[in-house]
Structure 1
Amino acid sequence: MTLDFYKPQQALTGPAYSLWFKILATVVTILLATYGMNIAIRFPLMQYGFGVKALLAGAALMLIISYYWFLRSTITINESGITQRWMYNRHVEWRDIRSAKMIGIPYLSAIFPPRLVVRTGNSFTTFNGGSQSILVEFAKISLAYQMKK
């Protein structure tokens, strides 16, 4: 018999990052891409060694991949647990959770909404919430696991 301490009333799926965070990510990505092109135009990059070229190509690739996943990442809260789809998927089942707490950056919650930090055994997993309904469910989860103590 497994004791499931928390179950959501209904399955919920939403964005992992808020609209303001996506706007900030877009602005930073554009600025970094513009700066990179400015450097590429001003300096003779083809005269540098393979290592420098590979480093710059890798940095550009990581910028593109990160930006793509900031825009596409989703979070799902259902009867099996919490799942965040990102560059790599995070999943925690309800039976594995020992504690949960919401943390945030004061005065910047519009851009960086609070996150849910879940403790499972010896590790911590952080989940981002980008919509009001996800954040409300995070608050319910946090409250339920604080009452568990």
Structure 2
Amino acid sequence: MKPFTLSILLAGFLLTGAVHAGASDHVHASHAWIRVLPGGLPAGAYVTLRNDGDQAVSLSGARSTVYADAMLHRSSTAGGVSRMTMVDALNIPAHGEARLAPAGYHLMLMQANAPVKPGDTVRLTLDFTDGSTLATDFIARPANAMDAGDDHAGH
């Protein structure tokens, strides 16, 4: 293979990788909120994710400069016993949506580096298994909140 052809081929591979590692252009977030608990207790983050792409994608985690760690969990109840299980990913079907909501999938936010109060905005970067990311602003809500506090939280 000629060096020029190899260079063009290599550049194409690098550009393809850059597209996948960048911001998500097919997943959109709405109704993003955090339930703030008192003291140093972990917070729960909830959001509706809409995938307008032709391929399914999976949320694999999140990160933030405000929290030391963010883990994807699923809450469930069986036989009267509530459980919380860490999960590796949450599938978002092509042209479909997935909801992170109380008593279901959520992001567990651990060790805030400063107090987060209701009304604060916290930016989380959502990570997807295809290498894309989505920076999303989450509104902090009080411990007794059950939704994002907007008119469309249940939609």
Q: What TM-score, normalized to structure 2?
A: 0.28
Q: What TM-score, normalized to structure 1?
A: 0.28
More strand by share: 2
More helix by share: 1
